[in-house]
Amino acid sequence: MNSPLVCDSCRTLHSAEDLDHFRMLGLEPTYNVNVADVRQRYLQLSREVHPDRHAVQTGESLKASARLNEAYRVVRDDVLRAEYLLELHGGVASTEDKTVAQDVLAATLMLHEEIAEAHAADDTGALTTLRQQVEERQSTTVAQIAELARQLPGDEDLRKQLRAALNAMKYYRKLAAEI
């Protein structure tokens, strides 16, 4: 497999400090990935770089392995992958732009209150309904994120829209945790 992490012929580890998560897995940085393929790449590379395989190169393999695990965690996940691509394409981080659409904010506040009420009343039926509502919103938002992330780098407006969708996802995750 082509990964700059490991030398194909001599099996030694290369320093991969400047590699992005996609290139580490031997992929181009694009949103569309085949998750099963990503996993196979990850497992095969793990066999090469994991510290268990390197009695000698322990320090290097520890770092390479940590970076590979992080790359796999991000690239396989639909939301983290979009977030990471946005960063690669010069979009701003969530700490700098916390904007969400007005309707998302309103819906979140309402759901937050309803969840608190359902908890107070110990109403499991209501909680189940609320969970379904939050999950629906999450899947709609993930679809939206995917749609936008496929068009990256795009223009600044697209990157702002993607930022807002990713921020909305954070709100919904918090709600899900509350339930």
Q: Footprint of other proteins on this chain (CB under 8 A)?
A: 36, 40, 43, 46-47, 50-53, 55, 62-63, 65-67, 69-70, 72-73
Joined tokens for residue 142? 């993930």
The answer to whether the beta carbons of residues 162 and 149 sit under 8 Å apart is yes
Q: Which two tokens stand for residue 10?
A: 């001599």
Q: How far is the CB of 51 from other proteins (least distance, A)?
A: 5
Residue with Cβ nearer other proteins (43 or 106)? 43
Burial 80-109 (b: 16+ CB within 10 A, else e): ebbbbbbeeeebeebeeeeebeeebeebbe
Which CB sits closer to other proteins, 70 or 117? 70
CB of residue 11 vs other proteins: minimum separation in angstroms? 12
Q: Find the radius of gyration of the CA atoms of the chain.
A: 20
Q: Least distance to other proteins from the beta carbon of 52, Å? A: 6
Residue 151: CB minimum distance to other proteins, A: 28
